[in-house]
Structure 1
Amino acid sequence: MSDSPAPRRGGQPGRRALRRRAVEILYEAAQRSLDPVTLLADRVGSTDADPVGDYTISLVEGVTANRERIDELLAEHAHGWSVDRMPPVDLSVLRVGVYELLWAADVPDPVAIDEAVGLARELSTDDSPRFVNGVLGRIGTIADRIRAVL
């Protein structure tokens, strides 16, 4: 999971690369038992690490600020899976996906789900895209109701 974000024309990484970077930071923080925002700050200030874009910062900070609610939703909609049992990469992908579904107003729901499925396909197991799609699809069907009470 250490590939650097692929730049688009003009040298700026695309949103998929920035999402991937957020997933990598969230995953690393979980594996090392670190606060994701602290790890993010280290990455932003480091000349050794890949650059961190504004959207990556927004995702990591947003997931961290809303993690309790995100994890409640994941536990409720991941039938047969507790958050503690989920593969760590899948959990990081799902957290970013739920954050984008519910708090990123500029990302349409189908795009948030498709991007998360794509990241699961790139970063995790063969079964992960279907799992991520199922969980986010269930949350997506009630996203408007959830957003109304956030």
Structure 2
Amino acid sequence: MNKNRSRKRTRVYAMEIVYQWMHTKTAVDELLNRYQEKPAVDMPYLEDLIQGALSKKTEIEKKLVPFLVDRSLDEVTDIEYAILVVGSYELMFQYDVPYRVIINEAINLAKSYGAQDAYRFVNSVLDQVAKQERGLEYRD
């Protein structure tokens, strides 16, 4: 399977795992084990996304808060939150992935799984994170 399609599917799984973790408080390793046999999963990348995003959740949340505009973190829907945490983790720590790819994938997740205009909110927030975290790349 194509690496890009595999990563796209893996980001869907990452969003699902963060969402499940928020609602069930199931151990991360147990949630990851459930995805071992899923089709098109890039397991090392999924493990990195989940372990990284959840271990750096506090740092990521601090980065997100100034860009939420008229919302508090508590007002962000769980789906938006899961997408923003995974996308922000990638922007902040996965420099091998172009920021435009990360934002585009997050927008597509929000369009597929979020509320009607969630993609606009996700785009706005992650665009600001990208400006701050990927300054040189962002100007290219």
Instruction: Tell me what 2:25 maps to.
Output: 33
**What do the CA deviations read for 1:43-74 (whole angstroms, capped 9, x no partner)?**
256xxx63652211111011011110111111
**What do the CA deviations read for 1:93-114 (whole angstroms, capped 9, x no partner)?**
0001101111011111111111
CA shift, 1:33, in A, is: 2.8
CA shift, 1:13, in A, is: 5.6
Q: Is it true that 1:113 corresponds to 2:103 in the alignment?
A: yes
The CA RMSD over aligned residues, in Å, is: 2.2
User: Do 2:84 and 2:122's aligned partners in 1 also have CA atoms closer than 8 Å?
Assistant: yes
What is the SS of the residue equivalent to 2:34?
A: helix
Aligned length: 133
- Higher fraction of helix: 2
CA shift, 1:135, in A, is: 0.4
User: Do 1:29 and 1:39's aligned partners in 2 also have CA atoms closer than 8 Å?
Assistant: no
User: TM-score, normalization: structure 1?
Assistant: 0.79
Q: Is it true that 1:124 corresponds to 2:118 in the alignment?
A: no
> Please, which runs of 5 or more residues in structure 2 have no aligned partner?
136-140
User: Structure 2 counterpart of 1:105, which letter?
Assistant: Y
> Please, which runs of 5 or more residues in structure 1 have no aligned partner?
1-7, 146-150
User: Structure 2 counterpart of 1:30, which letter?
Assistant: M
Instruction: Tell me what 1:43 maps to.
Output: 34
Displaced runs of 4+ in structure 1, greater than 4 A? none
User: TM-score, normalization: structure 2?
Assistant: 0.84
Q: Is it true that 1:139 corresponds to 2:105 in the alignment?
A: no
Identity of aligned pairs, percent?
30
For residue 83 of structure 2, the aligned residue among 68, 93, 108 is 93
